[in-house]
Amino acid sequence: MPTPRKLIRSVLAAALFSLAGTQANAEGFPSKPVRILVPYAAGGAVDVLARTVGQSLSKIWGQQPVIENRPGAGGTIASQALTQSAPDGYTLILVASGHPLNQFFYPKLPYDTFKDFTAISEIAASPLAIVVSKNSPVKNLQELLTIAREKPDALSYGMSGNGTSAHLAGELLNYMAKVKILAIPYKGGAPALTAVIAGEIPISVNPLPEVVGQLEGSTVRALAVTTAQRAKALPDVPTVAESGLPGYDASVWWGFLGPAGMTPELVTRINTDLKAALKDPVVLTALEKMGATPVGNSPQEFDAFMRTEAAKWEPVLKEANIKMQ
């Protein structure tokens, strides 16, 4: 039977070996391709950002990340898949603004919004745009709201799923303008935009990265942007506040999460690599073109930000009585 002194030495040796292994794993990361889950359809803002940042990360890691689209249920399908992954850094997810708010839309989520995830970094933020087809007779937001008031429930808008930033922006418009424009959920922003172009629905609410290309191609027109200030990418498009709803302000953000249980060393390593990727001129140019601003905050700052977002929107959602579609 080992003496107390030998037992203490064994415990200390095991702890030091474990720590050394953890540091080595973080330093040698990644030794194989990292899988990045995208909770929305290909072509949408989250998908575009994942692939753009992924290209830069491939230079840093020497491994090309694998982008895996898992759309549906406002991002909860992909989020659940992440919680079932090993906390080794080889499965990450790029979430959007709706992630910390899904708990208010899905009361029986198969995971805990904060306990089952590891915050890594918010990477970018952007306004959203309220758009119509180029053939729409509606020329501005005031005209749209007039129609909505005169013909209750006659209008609908497409968005990328329940609880997403597009859904929130649309419902905040309903709430503040005292109208009821029906929300139609799609599996991503790109399919919603396609429906507008095809004339299947009259309106779509999308993050700027999803609409800039279509605006340049003149397939759609932007009636307003959702942030308090005009978007640099669309300087001629008024804000919702300027269009008759003072105080209106909504935006979309994106950030990386890992499953719960990741070591601090590994989180720091990935956070550092993400910050480096956000300094890549190619990434910066792509973000600017899409109307998005890089962020690159710390894991602690990102976690605190998401908790603040949840606290901010919870009373708004309850008062607006937003229901699942």
DSSP string over 230-260: --TT-TTSPBTTTTT-TT----EEEEEEEET
> Higher confidence at residue 325 or residue 27?
27
Three-class SS of residue 299?
helix
On whether the CB atoms of residues 288 and 114 are closer than 8 A, the answer is no
CA distances from 319 to 176, 313, 314, 323 (A): 11, 10, 9, 11
Q: Pull the structure tokens for residue 190.
A: 């790109």
Q: Which residues contact 265 (CB under 8 A, 6 or more apart)?
A: 22, 23, 25, 26
The pLDDT score that the predictor gives to residue 171 is 87
Domain spans of the chain?
Answer: 33-126+252-320, 128-225
CATH of domain 33-126+252-320: 3.40.190.150
Q: How far apart are CA 196 and CA 64, in angstroms?
A: 34
Res. 249: pLDDT tops 50 = yes
Res. 18: pLDDT tops 50 = no
Q: What is the mean pLDDT of residues 76-86?
A: 97
Instruction: Give the E-state strand segments of 49-195 in sequence order.
Output: 66-69, 91-96, 117-126, 128-133, 156-159, 182-185
Q: What is the pTM of this model?
A: 0.77
Q: How far apart are CA 27 and CA 183, in angstroms?
A: 46
CATH of domain 128-225: 3.40.190.10
pLDDT tens, position by position, 255-312: 999 999 999 999 999 999 999 999 999 999 989 887 888 999 999 999 999 999 999 8
Q: Pull the structure tokens for residue 274.
A: 């993400």
Q: Pull the structure tokens for residue 49.
A: 């950002």
pLDDT grade, residue 105 (50/70/90)?
confident
Three-class SS of residue 52?
helix
pLDDT tens, position by position, 205-244: 998 888 888 998 889 999 999 999 999 889 999 999 999 9
Mean pLDDT of the chain: 89
Res. 19: pLDDT tops 60 = no
